Amino acid sequence: MPAPKPWSRKTMYRTFLEEYQEKWSEYFTFKREDGILEMRMHTEHDSAKWSLELHRAFIPALADVGHDPDNEILIFSGTGAKFLDSMDPEGWERYGFREPMTFDKGYDFWYKDQVHEPFAFLNLEIPVIAAINGPFFIHQELALLNDIVIASESTTMADGHYTGMGIVPGDGVQTVFRELMGINRAKHFLLTGQEMSAKELLDLGLIGEVVPDSELLDRAWEIARTIFKPRARSTRVMARALFVQPWRELLVRELPSGMANECWGTHGYWGMAEENYDIENLKGDSK
């Protein structure tokens, strides 16, 4: 393999879609028209399954999106009938998570990533439309921190930390749901495993619209073209900066301590170490 060429000190750094869409093709599908970039997560070109690799990939992949000046608006969605509704068992086993939790796992794979992953979205300086295409059970910040959030009629939302994995919901969802629902609703949602329909999410103000499943991405593109594209670039980026700043302040303050609570708590109980624990669906004999 030839050595990479050094970046010229006389050339402004940037990234190119034709390069990073190939680099991240095992995680995301990209397409772009008129400066509007559609980015859909997937696992083998079907609905995404949450894995340690996907978790980490968001950080550099979104950095590439943000350093491409041809991207003016981002549409973020999933693939198939589910947004994010199951785990990738092979990935968790690959890194030893079938064994009892140890410090290196809690730090190197969780804390190290999650104190950065929400900011991978918040650091983008372009408007982001989240289009939730079905059931969604973990890492809701991937959608709910964005500027416009719409969902398909088949969307349901629950959180898999406390009642599924049996661990502390401390990776930012404690902040996101508290701010969007109010503290008592958020605690009930996170601690009971409550599942909400798209209509309930709309009524509570977590999302802005519910549309038929077959029309979800078309509606996201319509919003991009009619709400964001006609505005001046400076208006778009400054409005984006205005709306993400409160989230940035909250997560800078609360995310590291929440992740510390989550990682430390796993030393008391770690379900994946149980012989018959179903990693994909977060179910064990004791549940």
- pLDDT at res. 1: 64
Q: What DSSP string describes the chain? A: -PPPPPPPTTS-----HHHHHHHTTTTEEEEEETTEEEEEE-BTTBS--B-HHHHHHHHHHHHHHHT-TT--EEEEE-STT-SB--B-HHHHHHTTTTSPP-HHHIIIIIIHHHTTHHHHHHT--S-EEEEE-S-B-S-THHHHTSSEEEEETT-EE---IIIII-S---SSHHHHHHHHH-HHHHHHHHHHT--EEHHHHHHHTS-SEEE-GGGHHHHHHHHIIIIITTS-HHHHHHHHHHHHHHHHHHHHHHHHHHHHHHHHHTTT--GGGSTT-BTTTTB-TT-
Give me the pLDDT at residue 285, please.
Answer: 59
Chain segment 44-80, per-residue pLDDT in tens? 999 999 999 999 999 999 999 999 999 999 999 999 9
Domains and CATH numbers, the chain: 17-218+226-273 (3.90.226.10)
Q: Report the alpha-carbon distance of residue 54 to residue 243 in Å, rounded.
A: 26
How does pLDDT run along the chain (287 residues), one tens digit per residue?
Answer: 677 778 788 889 999 999 999 999 999 999 999 999 999 999 999 999 999 999 999 999 999 999 999 999 999 999 999 999 999 999 999 999 999 999 999 999 999 999 999 999 999 999 999 999 999 999 999 999 999 999 999 999 999 999 999 999 999 999 999 999 999 999 999 999 999 999 999 999 999 999 999 999 999 999 999 999 999 999 999 999 999 999 999 999 999 999 999 999 999 999 999 988 999 998 865 44
What is the residue whose two structure tokens read 């149980």?
274
The answer to whether the CB of 114 falls within 8 A of the CB of 171 is: yes
- The whole-number pLDDT of residue 287 equals 45
